[in-house]
Amino acid sequence: MVVQDCALFDLVYPTVLVVPMTSDAKLAIPDLTVVLQPSSTNGCKKVSYLLPQNLTCVAKTRITTATDSCVTPAELQQLRQLVVLAIGGLT
């Protein structure tokens, strides 16, 4: 799942920020996880978990396809807040 806002970095920036997603609840830290219920909008077939504590960068050259799937504005806001929390931005 790519969570980078296109306005955040110049389009020539070589990487995008990515938060991994899993269907394995054992990998999710409850206080640091966005839970996605399956929907046609997000493309999930079963309950899935976004793991912002595993935020990483991926080279744009490694991204070969994109989907129309997306999270809700509320889920994106929660995810962004948890990324800030996970990297120590809130004290």
Element (H, E) at 22: strand 21-22
pLDDT in tens, 8-26: 777 788 888 889 999 999 9
Q: Which two tokens stand for residue 85?
A: 């929390």
Cross-strand pairs, 2: 18
Mean pLDDT of 41-51: 96
Distance CA 53, CA 13 (A): 23
Is residue 4 pLDDT above 70, yes or no?
no
Residue 11, pLDDT score: 78
* Each residue's pLDDT tens digit, 48-81: 999 999 999 989 888 888 888 999 999 999 999 9
DSSP state at residue 2: B
What kind and span of H or E run contains 76? helix 73-86
